[in-house]
Structure 1
């Protein structure tokens, strides 16, 4: 059994929707570890950058077209990279004005590096699970399609 084009597109669509959420808020709103950024000499600056290497899990956990979730084991994950450029627009205030500001994102670039697809489907006749074959070409196609949909340049940039 092989993945169909419709199933590949379903995987791509699910990864793209999850990546768009990550691009919109790469750190779930918690930028506390961005607040003090020192260079190798111990000097602090009011700007910086971070790279996050993460894995996106729970892709297509509700099943794929033609493969119901109840009769299958679906494990799909994607390794992605998010590059973040930011600055701190903190204003200490003065006698009349309270302190304000915080971390502002200047640029966010994101892309998928690799996809791992493991699918087993229950064969009703033999009552055993059969693996769905996912070729290296299909995995590369999924990565390419996701990166193209995130941004035509393969790097999503939000300024």
Structure 2
């Protein structure tokens, strides 16, 4: 089974909705900037800064339309990204779980049970002694999870979770037998 690979791409439909929302906000921002000539300089700079930020995010969304992120599963582990991303080995993953991210003003809270509105994501934790990069180490300290797979994939968390956990169990067990 060394040649077995599964690739899951980002959903273009979700990206189109994302871009549509950005275009609406960009258009509204430009309209507001053009039709309010009597605002003070600080507000004008703040408004144009927000428009520039939204334009940058829209360009990233366009890039993702043509070069979508991929979740690639193989016998050695999984990787997520555009071109080159660090592979997480199946032996390093303790388990996968579904987490729910809820936003509260400027902070996010992660819960592990479905207790109301929130975005479901597939997250993973690493075994003690597994290799951690700086971002995973910070995430482990702050949230107790090593990373999450974004909601922009072609399948939701409830469909993706059993696939990820089955690959982890199968390939971690096969590497321990070897």
Name the TM-score, length of structure 1 as normaliser: 0.25
More strand by proportion, 1 or 2?
A: 1
Larger proportion of helix: 2
* Larger relative contact order (Cα-Cα within 8 Å, sequence gap ≥ 6): 1
Larger radius of gyration: 1
TM-score normalised by L of structure 2: 0.23
